[in-house]
Amino acid sequence: MKRIVSLLPSSTEIVAALGLGHMLVGRSHECNYPLWVEKLPVLTAPKFDTNRSSEEIDNSVIDLLKEGLSVYNIDEELLEQLNPDVILTQSLCDICAVSLQDVENAVCKLTSSNPQLVSLQPNVVQDIFADILRVGKVLEVENRAQKLVDNIAQRFNAIRDKVANVKNKPTVAMVEWISPLMLGGNWIPELVELTGGESLFAQNGEHSHYHKWEKVAEADPDIIVVMPCGFGVDRSMEEMHLLSEKEGWSDLKAVKNGKVYVADGNHFFNRPGPSIAESAEILSEIFYPELFPANHKGTGYINYNFLYAKLRRENSSFQNISV
């Protein structure tokens, strides 16, 4: 039986979805699904305080990168003790997770094992499918991996079929970071498109970029979905005032029409693995509530306008709101 260390939440979910969770011996600090993986030893840690504001986190990360430093630490001693056969990591983004170079450096120092290093690089949906198949091949469960990919593709197709005849597609701003403002790239524009929306500014396969608020306000999106990288709904709600206090916010179509949503970016939109099926289903529910049942509302996403108004009326906390 192979001993697997996964340094990505998405690769951890892939291993679990392939029925090989019992082979996992270590994880990253961000791996938290399925819930039982939190019992596994943790091999990474950020070099910045994740409880600080979006802007402070962004500044800390930029300062580390300017100094030529890595953003995360790897527990090399623990890695040695775990003696893995396979290490799953990534080369997509040095900010989102431990870098490939850092993992390679740590592996070079191992004396007890010579693990196979599998680096994932998902820029678009097909890359995510390819990564699932590659992990399946490495772990010798190629048929399971193909079935998993086929299942996700079938769920995508079911959504495409329902929105195929929609004529007026909503324009959508997918907010991946609140301050400074960043709109989601990579596979996010593709998810917006396949679910019947039109992604503003961001292009499929391109990395996420900073954007000036004035440009976004000028575009006046029909729908705004806030899904910051690494943030759940509660954490994002703490910073929504940074958007709602911006000049021109109350004049936006999305705000006036109650089409501002806060989604669980950490679990659904920032993990290029099996959960992208749920990501697409969440967007389809948001874009076309008349076509899709609200199966993920209250867990995967909330309507910000509704919640904010209710909070103001009842002067209660977000945790006490039932959506």
Model confidence over 225-240: pLDDT tens digits?
999 988 999 999 999 9
* Residue 163 belongs to a domain: no
205 and 79 together in one domain: no
Question: Do 20 and 135 fall within a single domain?
Answer: yes
Residues 196, 198, 203, CA angle at the centre, nearest 5°? Answer: 120
In a domain, 259, yes or no: yes
Q: Helices 276-287 and 142-163: crossing angle, nearest 10°?
A: 10
Asked if 229 and 188 sit in the same domain, the reply is yes
DSSP track, 144-192: HHHHHHHHHHHHHHHHHHHHTT--SPPEEEEEEETTTTEE--TTHHHHH
* Per-residue confidence (pLDDT) for residue 54, from 0 to 100: 76
Residue 110 has pLDDT above 90, yes or no: no
Q: Is the pLDDT of residue 322 over 50?
A: no
Residues 143 and 194 in one domain: no
Per-residue model confidence (pLDDT) at position 96 = 57
Say if 142 falls within a structural domain.
Answer: yes
**Does residue 161 form part of some domain?**
no
Residue 281 to residue 160: CA distance in whole angstroms: 11
pLDDT tens digits, one per residue of 253-270: 999 999 999 999 999 998
70 and 116 co-located in one domain: yes
Please say if the pLDDT value at position 245 is more than 80. yes
Distance CA 91, CA 99 (A): 6
Q: How far apart are CA 57 and CA 158, in angstroms?
A: 39
Q: What is the pLDDT of residue 31?
A: 92
CATH number of the CATH domain containing 98: 3.40.50.1980
Label residue 99 by pLDDT band (50, 70, 90).
low
Given a cut of 60, is residue 155 above it in pLDDT?
yes
- The larger pLDDT score, comparing residue 249 to residue 45, is at 249
Type of residue numbered 46:
P
Q: What is the mean pLDDT of residues 96-111?
A: 68
CA-closest candidate to residue 264, choices 285, 277, 284, 279: 279
Does residue 38 belong to any structural domain of this protein? yes
Question: Span 67-86, mean pLDDT?
Answer: 82
The predicted structure's pLDDT at residue 100 = 65
Residues 265 and 185 grouped into a single domain: yes
Give the model's confidence band at 72: pLDDT under 50 very low, under 70 low, under 90 confident, else very high: confident
**Do 8 and 50 belong together in one domain?**
yes
* Structural domain range at position 266: 168-320
Q: State residue 209's pLDDT score.
A: 75
Q: Identify which of 236, 269, 252 has the alpha carbon closest to the alpha carbon of residue 9.
A: 269
Same domain, 172 and 281: yes
Query: Is the pTM higher than 0.85?
Result: yes
| Mean pLDDT value across residues 261-284 | 95
Look at the chain and report how many structural domains it folds into.
2
pLDDT of residue 307: 63
Are residue 142 and residue 180 in the same domain, yes or no?
A: no
**DSSP state letters, 38-56:** GGSPB-EEESS-TTS-HHH
- Indicate whether 92 pLDDT > 60: no
Asked if pLDDT for residue 161 goes beyond 90, the answer is: yes
Same domain assignment for residues 240 and 183:
yes
Task: Answer yes or no: do 8 and 135 share one domain.
Answer: yes
**Domain limit, last residue, from 118, 147, 176:** 147
Using CA atoms, how far apart are residues 279 and 227, in angstroms rounded to an integer? Answer: 11
Average the pLDDT over 1-26 and give the result: 95
Is there a single domain that holds both residue 87 and residue 229? Answer: no
Domain boundary (78, 113, 147) is at 147
Do residues 36 and 21 touch, judged by C-beta distance below 8 A? yes
* pLDDT for position 67: 56
Predicted confidence band of residue 323 (pLDDT cuts 50, 70, 90): very low
Q: For the CA atoms of 68, 71, 77, 81, what is the dihedral angle to 10 degrees?
A: -130
